[in-house]
Amino acid sequence: MTKMLRKQNLPTKICATCARPFTWRKKWERDWEQVRYCSKRCQGVGTAPSSRSPQA
């Protein structure tokens, strides 16, 4: 069993798409090392904000 994490001590990462920091979540407990995006929306957009196609 893993040790308890307090909310102040949760690990953070930077989103690969929007470059905003996001915090560890319980649902990511098993694959935190592979998590790259803060949300499904960022995951769907791609790897960089400039890779988005302009909307007409």
pLDDT in tens, 32-45: 999 999 999 999 98
Instruction: Give all strands (DSSP E) within the chain, no chain letters.
Output: 12-14, 21-23
Query: What does the pLDDT average to over 39-53?
Result: 73
Percent of the chain whose pLDDT exceeds 70: 70
Q: What is the pTM of this model?
A: 0.63
Distance CA 10, CA 24 (A): 6
What's the mean per-residue pLDDT of the chain? 82
The residue count for the chain: 56
CB 34 within 8 A of CB 13: no
Can you give the residue ranges of every domain in the chain?
Answer: 12-44
**Nearest to 22, CA basis, from 32, 4, 37:** 37
